[in-house]
A and B are shown apart, each in its own frame.
Chain A
Amino acid sequence: MSQVKNVLKLIGLYFKVNLASALEYRSGFLIQAFGMALSNGTFVFFWWVAFTQTGGRIGGYDFNDVMFIWALTSTAFGASHILFANMNRITRLIVSGELDTYLLQPKDVLISLLCSKTSLSAWGAFSYGFVLIALTQGRSPMAWLMFLTGVITGGLLMTAICVTAHTFTFYFGDASLMGNMAQEFIINFCNYPEGIYKGFVRVLLLSIIPASFIVHIPLKLARSFNATLLLALLAFSFMYCLLAYKFFYRGLKRYESGNLIITRL
């Protein structure tokens, strides 16, 4: 228990330092956050046009359902990139030998590595989801509760998927393409109604690319709460993250230092 507390404390500390550093460049920070929110916002228009054409439902979802999954994807993505933005650089750090810096620190290597960078534009994605939920789900307490639950589980799952993909670098060399693909796949499958996919893709969404657990199950819970499904969501998220964590440390044993001398400021 104290270990979990320590990890949370470390994440909190990194967050404070990263935020203070981001606020040093206020105009850049605001422009990037605004740009990301605007970029996401234009897709509301796309969905509005699409639903105007069908006049009802697409893949079993109505307009508000789609807005829920968009909001959740956006905020979960934002949260994961505010706290763990370095996940996208894992391959680069391994290949260039910059991982040495983290190995010398008296804290959890993976957590230190993930938290030591933040993304400014992620704040736009993070806040955009809240605005969209407030505008489309109104005061529905269950929608808000499942949205907030989904932000935590979804954010952690997105990070775990990215970590898993980049960890392959320890085994096969540069896996940056796999890392980018993992992220693109997860975002694309989260942003569209589950019902538009059939067969094998549905299986993928419940396993390797767990988009169903990131957004579609929280939506189901928001619309019709089911305690067993919630437990399944929490258990799956925990297991996936634990496996990603173990996989990284197993891979780390294969890491060979390149004796690179660098300074971390």
Chain B
Amino acid sequence: MKIKKYLTVVRISFQNAFVYRSNALGGLVFYALFIFVFFNLWRAIYQSGEAAGYSLNQIIWYLCMTELIVFGCKTGIFSEMNEDVKSGSIAYQLNRPYHYVFYQFSNALGTMFFNLIIYGVLAVVLGLIMVGPLPDYKLSMLPFGLFSGMLGILINFFLMMTLGFTAFKLEDNLAFFLIYQKLVFMLGMFIPVEFLPKWLQNVAVWLPFSYIAWAPAKLIVDFSWELFWRVVPVQVCWAFIAIILAIFMYSYGVRSLQAHGG
């Protein structure tokens, strides 16, 4: 079966991540630092009470979740694509019995899975220490939030991959990555979309960035079926578009690939 080879890649990359688990130690410290700094910041902001419909408790859990998605998704896929294309090493992978895009995805999936487990545990511990559990939280709704989180991770991964493939045509594409990263930060990761001015909220609805971190984090901390049916179909559409874009950019780029030397 075709999918079997990709599952093997997922398994091997998960095992690799587990063997080199001490590499994740630095990331855990940085994760805790970010949460600590933002916990203090939001506590100061919330001295006047509730803001944009979120309580302090909810906003800290929201932050733990958005950071979890961003830290969990850290796979270096953009720089890997860049390096593969610029160094020409992508040429070695063309004749292998897999699709390059799906191979990279499977390879990243194992690492992401491992990261999500360890950052997930830390997120829950930090959330409980800092603000305690969410009042009246319905644990039965968590799988729906996690499903949305998976879609967010898919969108993020394939959009980053698409940006990485611009290296086929551009000499230096770092600016694209920085702009993309900041759009994700500002449209959901650091601040929930509800905090933004109305006009920007209206713009954000049509863009994929807030569906990466905001939608799943909001569903996890404050689930409602109305929100679920409003955001999840849009996430599915964006995930589909992102995958198609990545495949298209790869096929388009690889056609004009010129590798020299050996």
Contact = CB atoms under 8 A, between A and B. Distances in A.
B45 A42 contact: no
B175 A35 contact: yes
Q: Give the dominant DSSP class at B's interface.
A: helix
Interface stretch (A85-93, A193-201, A214-222, A223-231): A193-201
A34 B40 contact: no
A172 to B, nearest CB: 15
A127 interface: no
A177 interface: yes
Contact of A46 (B26, B33, B44, B186): B186
A59 B171 contact: no
A38 B178 CA distance: 8
Contacts of A189: 37
Given A39-B182, A46-B190, A177-B26, A58 B175 contact: no
Contacts of B40: 59, 192, 196-197, 201
Nearest to A39: B178
A218 to B, nearest CB: 20
Given A31-B175, A181-B26, A192-B37, A45 B44 contact: no
Interface string A39-61: 10010011001101111001100
Interface size class of A (residues with CB under 8 A): 20 to 34
A46 B191 CA distance: 8
A107 to B, nearest CB: 33
A196 B182 contact: no
Nearest to A32: B174
Contacts of B191: 46, 49-50
Interface of B: 25-26, 29-30, 33-34, 37, 40-41, 43-45, 47-48, 51-52, 171-172, 174-175, 178-179, 181-182, 185-186, 190-191, 195-197
What 4 pairs across the A-B complex have the smallest Cβ distances?
Answer: A42-B182, A196-B40, A35-B178, A196-B44
6 contacts: A31-B174, A38-B179, A52-B197, A53-B45, A55-B48, A188-B34
